[in-house]
A and B are shown apart, each in its own frame.
Chain A
Amino acid sequence: MIIRKPQALKDHDVTDESLYRGRRKFIKTMGAGSILLGSSLAGNVLNAKARQDDLKNELTSYKDITTYNNFYEFGTGKSDPAKNAHTLKTSPWSVTVDGECAKPGSFALEDLLKPMQTEERIYRFRCVEGWSMVIPWMGFELGKLLKRFEPTSKAKYVYFETLLDPEQMPGQKRSVLEWPYVEGLRIDEAMHPLTLLATGIYGKDLLNQNGAPLRLVVPWKYGFKSIKSIVKIHFLEEQPISSWQKANAVEYGFYSNVNPNVDHPRWSQKRERRIGEFRKRKTLFLNGYADEVAALYKGMDLKKYY
């Protein structure tokens, strides 16, 4: 298995699952006494201890990655997707590619994937809600796939669409968001080598709740940009409007880059809770991938283009 880690996640930064259990001990101990009230002293002692862990990146457990999800097509609770996503049929699956490209078409998933070499990529994943994970994705660079359709010079943006089928995705029966879920990237973001189309996690095929059979992974953007269960890819000249922008343009912008200096209007983005850890850690600019992707936004006011 080829393991390619982006520079921002160094080898020694990634330790495995084993340490992760210990992190929970404190919470368990707390439960034992049902004591939720703590003294500020105890908090500070813990803080000092935890501070050293701030730069560590342990893989999030498979269980947490597959049971704690935002996938409103299967309900708005975090555990809903794991419970409800079994109704999604991922085979046969086809993806339509059209718009500003020379070779549009509708493709069976197998045909789409056949020429692609999948590899493992370990990325941080930061949700706009303030939690994060470290996920070993299986996938390939989106750019490599997109080139096959020969986007024209007018292809300034790429638009993605999730399956629309309220029978398979019961969450779509309620209009929490406008369905289908749609997302978009600027073409240079889409072509960036860090941008992935994922088909698996931990060496296994994606589970439905994680966006099977094909999902986007843009590690320097908030999680909702990484659209799941993709059925359509469309090249276009105008900037598309994403589902969360439609729902609330003031709170969710097109770019939605992870940025500790630009708060969500209703909560701070300065810190995040790494799932499996006790204390919150500082959120990194562009989720720690600034070396790779900051150049994409040179000269842009990221407070304005949030």
Chain B
Amino acid sequence: MKIPEPYFSRLFKPFVFALALMPLVSLGLAAWQDKLGANPIEVITHSTGDWTLRFLLITLSISTLRRLINWGQLIRLRRMLGLYAFFYATLHLFTYLWLDQFFWWEDILADIIKRPFITVGMLAFVLLIPLAATSTNAMIRRLGKNWLKLHKLIYPITILGVLHFWWLVKADVREPFIYMAILALLLAERVWNAWRFKKQFLK
């Protein structure tokens, strides 16, 4: 599958860009119309958290999809999608720091140290920073092979993200379970692919 140029760069990519902004737009719209319900800040926290995790998984699924449906072009969306994960993570973190904790730094620090779900969430966010910072073309060129190594961090980040969700629910683990299952599938496909590749190579 292939979308011919210039349609890919001029139409498809901007379309995906706009689409990826929709969760924020609809959140903003709902807030504007006072439709966030009784506890708006909880809705904002959950929505930005959900979309962070979703974009991490979407980013991870690019190379899988590329292999499965043989659509090489998709790789050109991956950086943007990864940066969207960082974007929503930043919103999520600031929702917590500001709207939830009002910059009560002592409480925030205590949370990060004492609450395992915050600890792993924070760790995931911190690990995202170098990935976002090295996403420019210049950085990719400069880091060369190390860039690939560095960006393998997306695996622990996403695992931590799922763990974060798992540890914060009270009793109903259905949703985090779904995310975990998707992550497991994506990882399994990679293992399978590597194994297949190795077998071919050894022949």
A residues contacting B by CB (< 8 A) are: 24, 27-28, 30-34, 36-38, 40, 43-44, 46-47, 63-64, 67-68, 72, 76, 78-79, 129, 131, 174, 176-177, 247-248, 263, 266-268, 270-271, 273, 275-276, 278-280
Contacts and interface: CB of A to CB of B under 8 A. Distances in A.
Contact of A267 (B39, B103, B115): B115
B44 interface: yes
Interface stretch (B25-33, B59-67, B69-77): B25-33
Nearest to A270: B107
B102 A34 contact: no
B32 A32 contact: yes
A68 B37 CA distance: 8
A62 B119 CA distance: 37
B39 A68 contact: yes
Given A34-B25, A63-B38, 9 more contacts: A27-B41, A32-B32, A40-B103, A76-B172, A76-B174, A78-B39, A267-B111, A268-B107, A276-B38
A266 B107 contact: no
Given A44-B103, A47-B102, A268-B110, A34 B37 contact: no
B95 interface: yes
B111 to A, nearest CB: 7
Given A36-B95, A273-B39, A280-B102, A266 B168 contact: yes
Contacts, number: 101
B82 to A, nearest CB: 19
A60 B110 CA distance: 30
A269 to B, nearest CB: 12
B36 A266 contact: no
A67 B35 CA distance: 12
B170 A34 contact: no
Contacts of B100: 280
Contacts of A263: 114
B86 interface: no
Contacts of B99: 36, 38, 278
B89 to A, nearest CB: 12
Contacts of A46: 102
20 contacts: A27-B36, A27-B40, A30-B31, A31-B27, A31-B29, A31-B33, A32-B28, A32-B32, A37-B94, A40-B98, A43-B103, A63-B38, A76-B172, A76-B174, A263-B114, A267-B115, A268-B107, A268-B111, A273-B42, A280-B100
A47 B107 CA distance: 15
Nearest to A69: B38
Contacts of A37: 90-91, 94
Contact of B38 (A40, A76, A275): A275
Chain A to chain B: the 10 pairs with minimum beta-carbon distance, closest first: A31-B31, A34-B28, A68-B38, A64-B38, A31-B32, A76-B172, A38-B98, A31-B28, A43-B103, A36-B91
Contacts of A30: 31
B34 interface: yes
Contacts of B91: 36-37
B78 to A, nearest CB: 25
B31 A266 contact: no
Nearest to B175: A76
B132 to A, nearest CB: 15
B68 interface: no
Contacts of A273: 39, 41-42
